A and B are shown apart, each in its own frame.
Chain A
Amino acid sequence: MKRRHFLTSMAVLLFSAALKVKAKIFSGGMPWIIHSVRPPKPVVAGEWTFFTAEEVSLIETLADRIIPADELSIGGKEAGCAVFLDRQLSGDYGNAVTTYRLGPVIQDGLPQAGPQYKDTPAERYRLGLAALNGVAKARNAGKSFTELTGEEQDDLLRRVESGEIPLTGVNGQLFFNMLVQNMREGFFSDPLYGGNKDMAGWKMVGFPGARYDFRDVIDRRGEDLHIEPVSMLTRYEKS
Chain B
Amino acid sequence: MSNKREKVDAVIVGLGWAGSLMANELTLAGLNVVAIERGSWRDTSNDFPTTIDTDELRFVSRRAIMQPTAVETLTFRNNPIQQALPLREFNTYQFGMNVGGAGTHWNGMTWRFLPYDFQSYSQTIERYGKNKFLEGMQVQDWGVTFDDVEPFYDKFERYAGTSGKAGNIKGEKIEGGNVFEGPRSRDYPLPPLKRTQLSMIFDKATREMGYHPFAVPAGNTSGAYTNPLGVNMAPCTYCGYCEFFGCGNWSKSSPNACILPAVMQRPNFTVITESEVLRVNKAPDGKTATGVTFIGSDGVVWEQPADIVVISAYQMDNVRLMLLSGIGQPYDHKTGEGVVGRNYAYQTISGAGFFFEDEMMNPFIGAGALSQAIDDFNGDNFDHSGHDFIGGGVALVHSTNGRPIGYSNNVPPGTPRWGADWKKAVKHSYQNYNNIYCMGNSYPHRDVFLDLDPEYKDRHGQPLLRVTFDWIENDKRSAKFMADRSVEIAHAMGAKTVVRQEPTAKPFSPMDNLSSHTTGGACMGDNPKTSAVNRYLQSWDVHNVFVCGASAFANNGGYNPTGTVGALTLWAAEAIKTQYLKSPGPLVRV
Contacts and interface: CB of A to CB of B under 8 A. Distances in A.
* Chain B: interface size category: 35 or more
B357 interface: no
Contacts of A65: 418-419
Interface in B328-363: 359-362
A207 B427 CA distance: 10
Interface string B257-291: 00011001101011111110000000000000000
Contacts of B77: 110, 112-113
Nearest to A72: B423
Given A189-B57, A213-B238, A223-B362, 18 more contacts: A16-B459, A25-B272, A26-B273, A32-B46, A36-B46, A37-B49, A39-B55, A40-B58, A72-B427, A100-B87, A102-B86, A112-B511, A113-B75, A113-B84, A115-B89, A189-B56, A205-B407, A213-B239
Interface residues of A, number: 85
B51 A100 contact: no
Interface stretch (A53-61, A140-148, A179-187): A179-187
A222 B494 CA distance: 15
State the majority secondary structure of interface residues on A: loop
Interface string A94-133: 0001111110101001111111110000000000000000
12 contacts: A27-B267, A30-B260, A97-B70, A100-B87, A109-B85, A110-B82, A110-B84, A113-B509, A154-B419, A157-B418, A207-B430, A222-B359
B404 A205 contact: yes
Interface in A32-55: 32-33, 36-40
B510 interface: yes
Contact of A112 (B239, B272, B507): B507
B6 to A, nearest CB: 12
Contact of A21 (B40, B53, B197, B457): B40
A187 to B, nearest CB: 8
Nearest to B418: A66
Contact of A99 (B41, B53, B70, B430): B70
Interface string A1-43: 0000000000010011001111111111111110011111000
Nearest to A236: B51
Given A214-B237, A217-B365, A221-B197, A26 B75 contact: no
A36 B510 CA distance: 36
A211 interface: yes
A68 B420 contact: yes
A214 B238 contact: yes
From B51, B71, B272, B362, residue with most partner A Cβ within 10 Å: B362
Nearest to B261: A30
A113 B85 contact: yes
Interface string B395-409: 000000011110110
Contacts of B73: 100
B418 A67 contact: yes
A205 to B, nearest CB: 4
B194 interface: yes
B83 A204 contact: no
Contacts of B511: 112-114
Contacts of A211: 54, 239, 364
B356 to A, nearest CB: 11
A73 B49 contact: no
B227 interface: no
Contacts of B417: 161, 180
A185 B68 CA distance: 19
A202 interface: yes
B297 A23 contact: yes
Contacts of A37: 45-47, 49, 51-52
A188 B404 contact: yes
A202 B423 contact: no
